[in-house]
Amino acid sequence: MTGRYSEHDHEHYERPRRRTRPRTKDRPTYDDAVDGVVVTVDRGRFTLLVDGHRVMAMKSRPLGRKGVVVGDRVRVVGDTSGDDGSLARIVEVVPRTTTLRRTADDDDPVERVIVSNADQLVVVTALADPEPRPRLIDRALVAAYDAGMAPLLCLTKADLADPETLLSTYRSLGVPWVVTQLKGEGAGDLTEVRERLRGRTSVLVGHSGVGKSTLVNALVPDAGREVGIVNSVTGRGRHTSTSAYLLELPGRDGWIIDTPGIRSFGLAHVQPENLIEAFPDLEEMTEDCPRGCTHGSEEPECGLDEAVASGEADPDRVESFRRLLAAREGASDW
Ligand SMILES: Nc1nc2c(ncn2[C@@H]2O[C@H](COP(=O)(O)OP(=O)(O)OP(=O)(O)O)[C@@H](O)[C@H]2O)c(=O)[nH]1
Ligand SMILES: [Zn+2]
């Protein structure tokens, strides 16, 4: 799955031109580089985790204008001590396994990659207050399927409403789900969520007020301090909660990436023929589709219609798939 996007998603990082630019003695080489992972990005400065400690770094020239995003595995040279005022240099970005893009907007017409290498996309939705917004859930699912990330619905505020109505919309797609309750009587059991996050890198998305910060703080009791550290390192003294950041779960049980301030996903790059690859049972039924068939409901001779007519396909599943296909179009904020 993850290989599917490698062609468009791997930005090509320019290698140092060893032949045209002779190495000087004091110029670091890749041989000296150490591995790091990008924890957060703040105005051109990157906080990395290198060997379990935090290191500030900037991009080095060989990377040119190519982006470095949260979740990137990088190679770093220079001062990787993490001491106050130290600054290392990122010389290489390891090819990404997955990417998540934010939507284009008036300020920036490009759908930029904001997070890489996550293998699970957790769509955090309140069961009430605020009401669930199925179109946003659908768009997040499209982003997950397209990127080859496993989706997970995390339904918060279980004290306020029953999950059944919402779940009925997603059952035929087979989307896994967990329910959480972090306020009110009997609140606080995160066993099931932790189980789902274990050993994975999960990116959490959700619109304002759904309880995502409450959840992150419950999962990583040090989250506030961790994020505080990130920002004390940048010297800006205050957490501007508009950038994604990576946190390790207690017990080294996996990683989560919170995405405050991310308003929507860019889905313009999603090709219908790729979305169906996330549903192999349905894909099988599209083998005889006319060339260029998007498998949407408006297609005159789509194999999915035949499969429904012959009883081979579950009509709910086909309908849900087509709903996702349609959700791809047009932008929509969280
Ligand atoms: N009833 C109920 N309220 C909750 C629960 N979890 C969180 N809340 C409340 O929901 C409100 C929003 O929670 P936050 O964690 O700040 O939500 P958020 O998704 O991070 O929202 P932003 O900070 O705006 O991005 C707060 O008043 C929380 O106390 C829950 O399980 N049940
Ligand atoms: Zn078709």
Domains and CATH numbers, the chain: 2-93 (2.40.50.140), 99-258 (3.40.50.300), 272-327 (1.10.40)
pLDDT, position 298: 92
Closest CA to 215 of 186, 240, 249: 249
Q: Would you tell me how many other CB atoms lie within 10 Å of the CB of residue 39?
A: 25
Q: How crowded is residue 142: how many other Cβ atoms within 10 Å of its Cβ?
A: 22
Alpha helices in the chain (DSSP H): 6-9, 134-147, 164-170, 191-197, 212-219, 223-234, 272-275, 280-284, 303-309, 315-327
Extract the residue ranges of the chain whose pLDDT is less than 70: 1-29, 106, 225-242, 330-334
Q: What is the pLDDT of residue 226?
A: 60
Burial class (CB in 10 A: 0-12, 13-18, 19+), 306: middle
The Cα 268–Cα 293 span in angstroms is 18
- For CA atoms 207, 210, 213, 219, the dihedral sign is negative
Q: Residue 264 Cα, ligand 2 centroid: separation in angstroms?
A: 28
- pLDDT number for residue 225: 64
213 lines ligand 1 (CB under 6 A): yes
Closest CA to 167 of 219, 104, 125: 125
pLDDT in tens, 246-276: 999 999 999 999 998 777 778 888 888 789 9
| Residues shown for the chain | 334
- Number of neighbouring beta carbons within 10 Å of residue 7: 7
Q: State the pLDDT at residue 64.
A: 80
Output the pLDDT for position 9. 38
Please report the DSSP string for 245-287 in residue order: EEEEPGGG--EEEE-TT---B--TT--HHHHGGG-HHHHHTTT
Please tell me the predicted confidence (pLDDT) of residue 1.
40
The confidence score (pLDDT) of residue 30 equals 75
Annotated binding-site residue numbers for Zn(2+): 289, 293, 295, 302
Ligand 1 atom closest to the CA of 124, numbered from 1: 19
Angstrom distance (rounded) from CA 326 to CA 54: 43
Distance 304 CA to ligand 2 centre (A): 6
Q: Which two tokens stand for residue 287?
A: 């083998």
CA 157 – ligand 1 centroid, Å: 8
Nearest CA to ligand 1 atom 14: 211
Cα distances from 253 to residues 194, 201, 316, in angstroms, run 8, 10, 36
Nearest alpha-carbon partner for 264 in 151, 139, 163: 139
pLDDT digits (tens, 9 = 90+) for 14-64: 444 444 555 555 555 677 899 999 999 988 899 999 999 999 999 998 888
pLDDT at residue number 117: 98
* Residue appearing with tokens 């910060």: 213
pLDDT at 232 (0 to 100):
45
**Checking phi first, is residue 142 left (phi over 0); if not, alpha (psi -120 to 50) or beta?**
alpha
Q: Which residue's CA is the closest to the ligand 1 atom numbered 10? A: 211
Q: Please tell me the predicted confidence (pLDDT) of residue 18.
A: 46
Residue 130's contacts (CB-CB under 8 Å, 6 or more residues apart) are: 207, 208, 209, 210
Tokens of 230: 């990130």
Look up residue 210 and give its two tokens: 């759904």
